[in-house]
């Protein structure tokens, strides 16, 4: 655990020294929250801001998870990854530290978005509801952190990874239950959204906000996170120095 937290501390220091990176990662979720929650004239029963806030939280965690792969890509290009792989610490410790940092960073960013949503009119929930929401976001963050790290291990340059990130983010978001309910979707979009990992995270977050316990969605996210972490671990274990 000491080795894991040493790597987490290293990434936290690097993140703290780049405040513009922090602001840039919050800019898009804040814009989506304000634009969709307050400006768009969407027909919805109840407070639409309460409906759209969980999806913005999930988008924030997903963006943070994918940007973690970009961080690993820079480590590869600058030669830091080779130095980490050469140390006597187990490679799994390095990988767990990376995934843990990316996930915690995403949760911190989601907290900022959550506070903003409350300030502009979203409902204040019970402590249990927030606990369930954060647990869901944590599982989802682990899944996308491991996915981004795995893809970064396969690609050779930052431009390729940036193209992958752009290709994945918005299509997944729009093909989910983020902005409209399942009942309002065209049939083809309904089936796509039902198998979209984002939909599981969004639906679970909304259920938690409504006072329910989203056991099924949490189990699905737990399985996805475990599978993706195992795949990432095997790829990271086989990484060679170059």
- Cα–Cα distance for residue pair 88/180, rounded to 1 Å: 50
- Cα–Cα distance for residue pair 204/200, rounded to 1 Å: 6
Min mean pLDDT across 65-74, 80-89, 101-110, 199-208 is at 80-89
Mean pLDDT within 20-46: 66
Q: What is the pLDDT of residue 239?
A: 67
Min mean pLDDT across 56-70, 100-114, 202-216, 227-241 is at 227-241
Task: Please give the residue that has the higher pLDDT: either 90 or 167.
Answer: 167
Say whether pLDDT at 138 is over 90.
yes
CA 82 to chain centre: 26
Q: What is the pLDDT of residue 218?
A: 92
Half-sphere exposure of 217 toward its Cβ, with a 13 Å CA cutoff?
25
Mean pLDDT within 187-210: 92
- Cα–Cα distance for residue pair 17/93, rounded to 1 Å: 24
CB-based contact 139:221 (threshold 8 Å)? yes
Q: What is the pLDDT of residue 42?
A: 53
Min mean pLDDT across 16-25, 103-112, 122-131, 174-183 is at 16-25
């Amino acid at each position: 655990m000491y080795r894991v937290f040493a790597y987490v501390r290293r990434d936290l220091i690097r993140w703290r020294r780049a405040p513009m990176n922090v602001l840039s990662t919050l800019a898009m979720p804040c814009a989506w929250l304000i634009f969709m929650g307050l400006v768009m004239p969407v027909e919805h029963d109840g407070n639409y801001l309460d409906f759209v806030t969980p999806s913005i939280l999930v988008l924030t965690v997903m963006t943070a998870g994918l940007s973690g792969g970009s961080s690993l890509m820079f480590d590869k290009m600058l030669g830091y990854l080779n130095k980490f792989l050469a140390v006597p610490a187990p490679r799994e410790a390095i990988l767990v530290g990376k995934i843990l940092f990316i996930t915690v960073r995403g949760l911190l960013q989601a907290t900022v978005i959550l506070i903003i949503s409350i300030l502009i009119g979203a409902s204040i929930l019970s402590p249990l509801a927030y606990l369930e929401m954060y647990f869901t976001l944590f599982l989802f963050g682990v899944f996308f952190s491991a996915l981004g790290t795995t893809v970064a291990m396969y690609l050779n340059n930052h431009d390729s990874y940036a193209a992958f990130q752009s290709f994945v983010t918005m299509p997944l978001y729009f093909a989910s239950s983020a902005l409209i309910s399942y009942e309002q979707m065209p049939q083809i979009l309904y089936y796509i959204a039902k198998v979209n990992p984002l939909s599981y995270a969004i639906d679970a977050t909304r259920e938690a906000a409504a006072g329910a316990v989203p056991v099924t969605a949490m189990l699905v996210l737990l399985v996805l996170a475990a599978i993706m972490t195992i795949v990432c671990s095997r790829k990271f274990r086989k990484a060679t120095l170059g």
